[in-house]
Amino acid sequence: MVQALGRQILVEFYGCDHQILDDVVQVEDILRGAANKANATIVQSAFHRFNPFGVSGVIVIAESHISIHTWPEYGYAAVDIFTCGETIDPWAAFRFMELAFGAQNISSMEMRRGIFDVPKGKMLLHKPEEASVAICE
């Protein structure tokens, strides 16, 4: 049976609120809210506002990351939502950001990452207790 370690959603938000996309505090707050909506555990964040405009940032979560780069002059944001584990809902983060940025058009695709063929009746562990043990009963 094929199983994956993680899910990654690549998102393009178009027609977003220009002022929000250029405000580093609001962008970070939105990504933190998205991580919370996804039921993720926030570990750390780093954000930067460019001159004359634009914001890049990442929220590191225990389950991977949520990152963004904005082009306020085009009302556009490129977002990457990468999660591992079964308790995290990356699409909840997506929906939260869609509303918060006021996106008018969206393009997205989901990829499964770290795909392995696992014997029937066994599970692929996301964080094995022992590094040498990756598949369990």
What is the set of domains in the chain, with CATH numbers?
A: 2-136 (3.60.90.10)
Whether residue 64 lies in the annotated active site:
yes
| pLDDT recorded at residue 133 | 43
Model confidence at 137: pLDDT above 80: no
Catalytic residue among 16, 64, 65, 126: 64
Model confidence, pTM: 0.88
| pLDDT recorded at residue 119 | 85
Q: Higher pLDDT residue, 106 or 3?
A: 106
Quick: pLDDT tens for 57-74. Answer: 999 999 999 999 999 999
Q: Are 4 and 88 in contact (CB under 8 A)?
A: no
By mean pLDDT, which of 37-41, 73-77, 94-98, 118-122 is the weakest? 118-122
Catalytic residue among 69, 107, 108, 126: 69
Cis peptide before 128 (omega within 30 of 0): no
Whether residue 48 lies in the annotated active site:
no
| pLDDT recorded at residue 132 | 46
**Strands ordered across the beta sheet of 42-49:** 42-49, 55-61, 64-71, 76-84, 2-14, 105-117
Mean pLDDT of the chain: 91
By mean pLDDT, which of 36-40, 45-49, 52-56, 126-130 is the weakest? 126-130
Catalytic residue among 84, 108, 126, 136: 84
